[in-house]
Structure 1
Amino acid sequence: MRTKLLYQEDSYIREFEATVLEVNGNEVILDRTAFHDGTGGVQADSGYIIFGNERYFAAASHKGGEVVHVLDRAPVFKPGDVVRGELDWEKRYKKMRLHTAAHILSAVLYDKYNALITGGEITHEYARDDFNIEGDMATVRKAFEEAVAVVNEIAQRGIEIKVYWLPREEALKIPGVVKLAERMPPDIPRLRIVEIPGVDVQADGGPHVKNTREIGVVKIIKVENRGKGKKRLYYTVE
């Protein structure tokens, strides 16, 4: 990948300058970006790319191993030009809160039920996670309700979240660093680690809040049975 991912160093960057590397119709690749590209189950960011008096709506995506900014029209700028990016911060920040809540939730369910995530999605409105937890739906709902109560208690502790990098081999020795049932982290030499001290350590490349108190209160929206090994929980933060 040619693009430096600014959010991996600082998830609170809302505006940035970047040099244009490539323009293909209305698709643009930059040398650096704060836009998350939608990998890892977190909905891609949107916002604006600005060049002079031109302001383009932009939605990020991941194509061919690159972060691509898809604009609402073909731009007037060209490779080598410097542009400014602006995130839709309200949507991004909600996803950050939900993403950190999802890490705590997965840690709680992993610790109590040895449950792994079998699927999930984080949008700017809600999150959904599938867990390979078994039992009738009354039992599963109670487990989810108890887990969310623990998540809210942990969130209110105001724990500072650590983000750092480790060699892949060293990172994978950490118990529970991967909580996805069917997917390992990418085959790269160094992994980005998101640690909520005393609660969770996971390999993760996406944006998070700095302190658990920023999460707010997690609220269950609904619980669904999606089949064997797949109990789905929809939730949001307020």
Structure 2
Amino acid sequence: MGTDRGRVRWSYDVVAEEYLRRIGGELAGKVVDRALLGAVVEEAAGGVVADLGCGPGHVAGWLAGRGAEVVGVDLSPRMVELARREHPGVEFRTGDLLELPAADGEFAAAVALYSVIHLEPEALAPAFTEAYRVLRPGGVLLVSFHLGDEVRRMEEWWGHEVDVDFHFLRTEDVAGRLTGAGFAVEARLERDGLAEEAPTRRGYLLARRPLR
């Protein structure tokens, strides 16, 4: 599969249909996630919200259902194909977190839910620099991740052969990378995994691109 990004792209192409079936309705049982996403919609104040690492578009679809204009971006062409099929009223683009297909300051807000976990640690800083670039001054970024300091290699996922790494991250490390990219971290939250989720603790950070 070549590069790390190539492995991630191929793996998500492989599991896309099963991912949609299993994960596509997950927000129905995630009160905290919905509350945080609702805050992002309010912060966007009618501007465009980016869903960075959108998968099959379920989060983008939820945001659009709350009145937001949304652009979803995903590395996996198959995920983008499914997202367009499931949410025809939302715009989706194929692209990389390290080179987002978006103009400077295009978005009023952005979410990156469990997408940075597939980046090597040294790629977090450039990914957050890209997120900073595409947000307008005052825009917010919501990031979520699995808490810890391990790397889990997946070679089988729901009966499919894959080759993808999941990087568990520490809240302070992610906050430091966000701050280094120019963001001001305004809120932090951690929670245990729900019964229907993988048994990991989850971290959330809400960061803002300063007005100046």
TM-score normalized with structure 1 length: 0.25
Higher strand share: 1
Higher helix share: 2
User: Of the two, which has the highest radius of gyration?
Assistant: 1
